[in-house]
Structure 1
Amino acid sequence: MAFDEGRYREALDHYLEMANAGDANASLRLGWMFQHRLGTARDDEQAKRWYERAATAGLVEAKYYLGWFFWDRRDFALAHSWWQRASQDGHAAALFRLGGMYEFGEGVERDEAKARSYYEQAAAGGHLFARRAVAGKMLRGQYGASRILVGLWLLLTTVWRGGREKFRDPYSGQLR
């Protein structure tokens, strides 16, 4: 409750107590708080430590955030590794991020087939940006001329769903 009300220092103390008692979700929140200066000074080593603790406990969200943590620092090999682990647990946003790595050659060799596969898996998992990426590829004819209209339909429904989801929950996992 303190976190949601912006009382970050109080929330930090509460999460520290919970995380030290073994609560993986509290460890995840601590990682976020140390990374984003909420209730404390920014401390990347602490952020990484708490994210890793949560990931080791099996939290797929922690694996995803570790991917972001390393991607932000241009350590694409570790970002890929953590997003790969999260994707194995079906994390749609991690699948989308892997697709981007292969599409743009970030730390991996560019591979359009792998990018497309990851985007399709993420889209099937409900990830809206992945649906947009697949729709864009269809509109550009990368799925064949017969799929261009399907791409247009997919793009329009994705925009509609995205607006609805943003209104319903601005922090939705479908929007990452």
Structure 2
Amino acid sequence: MSVPAKSPHVPWFAATLRIAAAAIAIAAAPSLISWAHAQSADLVLCDRLAADPADPDKPADVKGVAEIEPSDVLTAIKFCKTASGSSRRALYQIGRAFAANRQMAEAVAAWRKAADKGSTSAMVELGVLYGNGAGVAKDEAQARKLFERAAAAGNPRGISNLAALGGGTSSDPVQTRSLLAKAGETNAEAQYQLGLMIADGVGGPKDDVTARALFEKAAAQNHPGALERMGAFALEGRGGEKDKTAAKAYYEKAAALGNEDAKAALKRLECPYVIKDKRGNVVTNLCF
């Protein structure tokens, strides 16, 4: 019996299917790549225009902007809105853009969504709003809760803002001091708050030298409170050299940034003689 020959059309048909499938894949690949690039491009542009330099979610290769440029606000809103569907960082950043555009209701809504997804920077921004009563009803307890959540996750601004509220300083000042020390590696406010604790001996030993070094570090970043403290330490010679000229320079920088204590200190330097009434109340300063 002869064996029927295999049809030559079978392998040809299979090969045709394979070639067709490969062609479809090749044709589809550019569109898929373009789609992926379009998605990432939105986030890249959102980062470029609206990333917060202090945001722990920010990639290391993204510089960020301290304030969104007015000319970039609408563009930032556009790209961050597209990217926010898949990125909590973009959600936080669109909140920044809305706030820069004075759309506070939209900013609050975006930051709440970002905070729900774990953005510690959004928690801090919401905490600041609740603490100041800006855009929301003032609620210090809610502000504290938000700062506590951010601080527990290691956010430097959350830690320093919590310390500024007095969070933890009464119940566990040692822990607060430890958290501030960690946050102070990169955050001027944390450096300042830690300096205050060390200068007063709260949560550990009193150390004017270390406190002065922290104030100096924060003052170099133009922190108004730290500049004022450096003025006081330089004037009194606390933790280092006594230098009235340097003290005045620090006070002037702090005063220019709106620090009221520095303004009062400058007045005392210019008019050192104080006239008081019988009850001990200051009437005026005499200048010579």
C-alpha contact (below 8 Å) 1:2/1:11 kept by paired residues: yes
Q: 1:141, 1:148 within 8 Å by CA — same for their partners in 2?
A: no
Q: Does 1:140 align with 2:242?
A: no
RMSD: 3.5
1:99 CA drift (Å): 1.0
What residue in structure 1 maps to residue 67 of structure 2? none
Match of 2:205, SS? Answer: coil
Residue matched to 1:110: 206
Q: Does 1:81 align with 2:202?
A: no
Structure 1 residue runs of 5 or longer lacking an equivalent are 167-176
Give, in angstroms, the shift of residue 40 of structure 1. Answer: 6.6
| 1:101, distance to aligned residue in structure 2 (A) | 0.6
Higher relative contact order (CA 8 A, sep 6+): 1
Task: Determine if contact 1:69/1:79 at 8 Å carries over to the other structure.
Answer: no
Is 2:215 aligned against 1:122? no
Could you tell me whether the CA contact under 8 Å between 1:67 and 1:81 is conserved in 2?
no
Distance, in Å, in 2 between the alignment partners of 1:25 and 1:33 is 13
Q: Report the count of equivalent residues.
A: 159
Structure number having the greater helix percentage? 1
1:156 aligned to which of 252, 260, 265: 252
Asked if residue 19 in structure 1 is aligned to residue 122 in structure 2, the reply is no
> Mind listing any 5+ residue stretches in structure 2 that lack a counterpart?
1-97, 261-288
Q: Structure 1 residues 23, 84: CA separation in 2 closer, same or farther (over 3 Å shift)? A: same
Deviations 1:47-102 (A, max 9, x none): 555435544666432232233355376232232132222102x2111111111111
SS of 2:184 mapped into structure 1: helix
Query: In structure 2, how many angstroms separate the alpha carbons of the residues matched to 1:133 and 1:78?
Result: 24
Answer with 1 or 2: which has the greater Rg.
2
1:31-70 map, 5 Å: 31-32=127-128, 39=136, 42=139, 44=141, 50-55=146-151, 59-70=155-166
TM normalised by structure 1 equals 0.66
When the two structures are superposed, what TM-score results if normalisation uses the length of structure 2?
Answer: 0.44
* Counterpart Cα distance in 2 of 1:32 and 1:158: 22
